[in-house]
Every structure is written in structure tokens, then in C-alpha cells.
């Protein structure tokens, strides 16, 4: 084999290893640099609460793109159908079912139906949540109850029914969405911070209870992420882009920008994958540095 052949072979071998889409042998290595798609979740049953938009939607799409059979819920039927359709159009496997995480019968029916359909539950992402931005003395009792019943009771209910299936199977991974706000309170975020700290408590207890049964449970703490959760409804794209640009450096020390939902999704997939077999009971901040601390700002003249 001459030197040219050796170079060609190593180019082809390297391209194959990298998953490059095409490589010509006419001397001009024309490689469409498309990394080989990873399929860490081929055939696995993944259940997600709150995937009609935002982080849940991005995570459902990311799991489906890696071969998972995704079952997800949320209350807004038209959005659920849209996400289901988009995943199927892209060649993925997704099933939407309307369910409200505050309602035990609805969540039990959702979990059981997806487990029946997919032959169990390998991975669950308990993500549905709502925000709250009022001072505690201005919050009504029913507003407080709604935040707790979605963010805390909803996570408890989903986990309760998912674990029944995982215990039978002897394995499972659960990721629950907490928030950087669990670690970093705001004056007008009392109800939300309380609820997201409660999620961490559920996760720690569940990790201890179910670890001996082969089930890992972790919390993810996203920082401010560009979803409907933080974007005011109806704001024009250009205004929102300008707002985001100014928001990052003022509020997120570290990376100085909001996260994109796909970035949180990637972290969820990593936690759910076999890459972290020894991680359970953890609270993983994916927040651009927000909870690491704050820059010191010195008063003028000091
Ligand atoms: N965006 C951020 O800055 C940020 C930061 C930290 C943590 N988080 C957390 O991330 C999670 C996802 O939020 P997001 O940012 O992706 O906002 P989003 O786009 O508003 O998504 C919230 C999801 O939760 C679902 N949901 C809310 N109440 C529900 C209920 N009662 N039953 C079923 N589903 C329900 C919503 O679906 P339906 O409305 O269709 O029911 C939607 O799919 C939440 O837990 C939130 O607290 C967000």
C-alpha cells in the first residue's frame, strides 16, 4: 500500500469514526461534517410531565432523537398534539396524553397507560411546574396552593406511580425539575422557592428509599431559561432579543446569558444516561453560574 492509499484509508476510517456523512475519493475530501447521531436511549420508555412547551418539549425531542419511546403530558391539548406531531415527523416515537399533575387519577392513568404501551418505564422526567412572582403578603392562599400543588404534589404523584413500575422492573432513573431558585431566593419568589426546595427534599428521600432497588433519583436546577416561563406573552421577537441581551450580564454572573431549553435538555439526558451510574440524590445546577455566587460591586469612591 502506498502513502496515498494509506492517507485515503485513514481519511475514510477517521470519517467513519466521526460519522462524517460523505467523503469522496477524488482527492478532495468533501466531508459534510455531520456528527454521528448518538442513540443512548434506543427502545427505552421515557415518561415526561409538562412537555407541551419549553424545557419539557426540548427534552422530549432530544430523547426521541436518541431512539427513546416518549410518553408525555401537559394540559394544553393543541400544543401536546403539535409536539407529538413534530417528533413523529422527525422519525421519533412520541405519545401525548392530556393529564394534570395535580390530579391523582389523571397522573396514575397517564403513567399506567404509557407503561402498558411501552412495556414499563425506564426513565421519568418530572418537569411540570408553574412560577409565582408575588411578595408573600400579596399572594392569595389559592395562588400559594396552586404553586405547591403543581410543583410539589405533582412531583410526588408522578414519582409515586412511576416508582411502582420501576420497583417491579428492578431498575429506573428519575430526574425532577427543581430550580436555581431553590438555592437563590428572591423577595417575590417565596412560594416558588419553597416548592423547588421541596422537590429537592423529595428527591433526596426517594434516592435513599429506592437506591437499593436499582432506581436513581436526581434533581436538576435550571437557571433562567428562555421559555414561556420567563418570556412575557406577546412580546415581539426583536424586543425579546434585546431584553435577553441586557438581562444576562445584569443577572447571571458567570456565563452572563439565559440558557436555551435545549441546553437544559442535554443535561437531563446526561443525568438519565448510563454515564452517571453512581449519581443519586444529587441537585445538579445547570444555571450558567448563577448559584455560584455574585460579583462584588464596590460603591463609588471605595
Ligand atoms: N424557564 C426557567 O427560567 C426555569 C428555571 C428553573 C426551573 N424551571 C422549571 O422548569 C420546568 C419547565 O418550565 P419551562 O421553563 O419549560 O416553562 P413552560 O414552557 O411554561 O413549561 C411548563 C410545562 O409544565 C406544564 N404544566 C404546568 N402545570 C401543569 C399541570 N398542572 N399539569 C400538567 N402539566 C403542567 C405545562 O403544560 P400545560 O400548561 O400544557 O399544562 C408546560 O408543559 C418548570 O418546573 C419550571 O419551574 C424553569
Tell whether 240 is covered by a domain: no
Tell whether 146 is covered by a domain: yes
pLDDT of residue 301: 82
CATH code of the domain in which 87 resides: 3.40.50.720
Mean pLDDT of 69-84: 98
How far is the centre of ligand 1, averaged over its atoms, from the C-alpha of 51 (Å)?
Answer: 8
* Site to substitute for ligand 1 among 99, 111, 223, 229, most atoms within 8 A of C-beta: 229
Tell whether 251 is covered by a domain: no
Number of domains in the chain: 1
Domain ranges, residue 185:
45-224+263-289
Query: What pTM did the predictor assign?
Result: 0.90
How far is the centre of ligand 1, averaged over its atoms, from the C-alpha of 50 (Å)?
Answer: 6
* Site to substitute for ligand 1 among 48, 49, 50, 196, most atoms within 8 A of C-beta: 50
Per-residue model confidence as pLDDT tens digits over 146-189: 999 999 999 999 999 999 999 999 999 999 999 999 999 999 99
Residue 76 has pLDDT above 80, yes or no: yes
DSSP 175: E
Residue 66 has pLDDT above 90, yes or no: yes
Count each helix (H run) and each strand (E run) in the chain, helices first. 9, 7
Tell whether 117 is covered by a domain: yes
* Site to substitute for ligand 1 among 51, 55, 103, most atoms within 8 A of C-beta: 55
Indicate if 278 belongs to the active site: no
CB atoms near residue 140 (< 10 Å): 9
Tell whether 83 is covered by a domain: yes
Tell whether 21 is covered by a domain: no
Q: Which residues' Cβ are closer than 6 Å to ligand 1? A: 49-56, 73-76, 79, 100-102, 127-130, 150, 177, 179, 222, 224-225, 227-230
Is there a contact between 216 and 280 (Cβ–Cβ < 8 Å)?
A: yes
Say how many residues make up the chain. Answer: 302
Name 71's bridge partners: 47, 95
pLDDT of residue 295: 87
- Residue 33 pLDDT class (50, 70, 90 cuts): low
- Residue 280 pLDDT class (50, 70, 90 cuts): very high
Phi, psi of 43 (to 5 degrees): 75, 0
Tell whether 16 is covered by a domain: no
Residue 14 has pLDDT above 50, yes or no: no
pLDDT of residue 37: 74
H/E run at residue 16: helix 3-18
Q: How many whole angstroms separate alpha carbon 70 and alpha carbon 48? A: 7
Q: How many whole angstroms separate alpha carbon 20 and alpha carbon 152? A: 45
Per-residue model confidence as pLDDT tens digits over 78-136: 999 999 999 999 999 999 999 999 999 999 999 999 999 999 999 999 999 999 999 99
DSSP string for 190-254: HHHHHHHHHHHHHHHHHHHHHGGGTEEEEEEEE-SBSSTTTSPTT--HHHHHHHHHHHHHHH-TT
How far is the centre of ligand 1, averaged over its atoms, from the C-alpha of 137 (Å)?
Answer: 24
| Active-site residue identified among 192, 210, 243, 278 | 192
Nearest residue (CA) to ligand 1, atom 17:
229
Tell whether 204 is covered by a domain: yes
Residue 243 has pLDDT above 60, yes or no: yes
Residue 242 has pLDDT above 50, yes or no: yes
Amino acid at each position: 500500500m502506498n502513502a496515498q492509499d494509506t492517507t485515503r484509508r485513514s481519511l475514510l476510517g477517521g470519517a467513519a469514526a466521526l460519522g462524517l456523512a460523505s467523503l469522496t475519493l477524488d482527492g478532495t475530501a468533501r466531508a459534510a461534517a455531520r456528527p454521528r447521531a448518538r442513540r443512548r436511549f434506543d427502545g427505552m420508555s421515557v415518561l415526561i410531565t409538562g412537555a407541551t412547551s419549553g424545557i419539557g418539549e426540548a427534552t422530549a425531542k432530544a430523547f426521541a432523537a436518541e431512539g427513546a419511546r416518549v410518553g408525555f403530558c401537559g394540559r394544553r391539548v393543541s400544543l401536546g398534539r403539535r409536539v407529538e406531531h413534530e417528533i413523529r415527523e422527525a422519525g421519533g416515537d412520541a405519545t401525548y396524553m392530556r393529564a394534570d399533575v395535580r390530579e391523582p387519577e389523571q397522573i396514575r392513568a397517564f403513567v399506567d397507560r404509557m407503561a402498558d404501551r411501552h412495556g414499563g418505564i425506564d426513565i421519568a422526567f418530572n418537569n411540570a411546574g408553574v412560577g409565582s412572582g408575588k411578595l408573600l403578603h400579596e399572594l392569595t392562599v389559592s395562588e400559594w396552593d396552586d404553586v405547591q400543588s403543581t410543583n410539589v404534589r405533582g412531583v410526588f404523584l408522578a414519582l409515586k406511580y412511576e416508582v411502582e413500575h420501576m420497583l417491579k422492573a428492578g431498575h429506573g432513573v428519575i430526574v425532577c425539575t427543581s430550580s436555581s431558585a431553590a438555592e437563590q431566593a428572591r423577595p417575590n419568589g417565596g412560594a416558588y422557592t419553597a416548592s423547588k426546595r421541596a422537590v429537592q427534599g423529595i428527591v433526596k428521600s426517594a434516592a435513599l428509599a429506592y437506591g437499593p432497588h436499582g432506581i436513581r433519583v436526581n434533581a436538576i436546577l435550571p437557571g433562567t431559561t428562555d421559555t414561556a416561563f420567563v418570556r412575557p406573552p406577546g412580546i415581539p421577537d426583536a424586543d425579546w432579543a434585546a431584553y435577553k441581551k441586557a438581562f444576562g450580564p445584569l443577572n447571571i454572573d458567570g456565563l452572563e446569558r439565559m440558557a436555551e431549553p435545549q441546553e437544559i435538555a442535554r443535561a437531563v439526558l446526561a443525568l438519565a444516561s448510563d454515564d452517571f451510574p453512581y449519581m443519586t440524590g444529587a441537585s445538579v445546577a445547570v444555571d450558567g453560574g448563577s448559584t455560584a455566587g455574585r460579583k462584588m460591586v464596590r460603591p463609588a469612591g471605595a
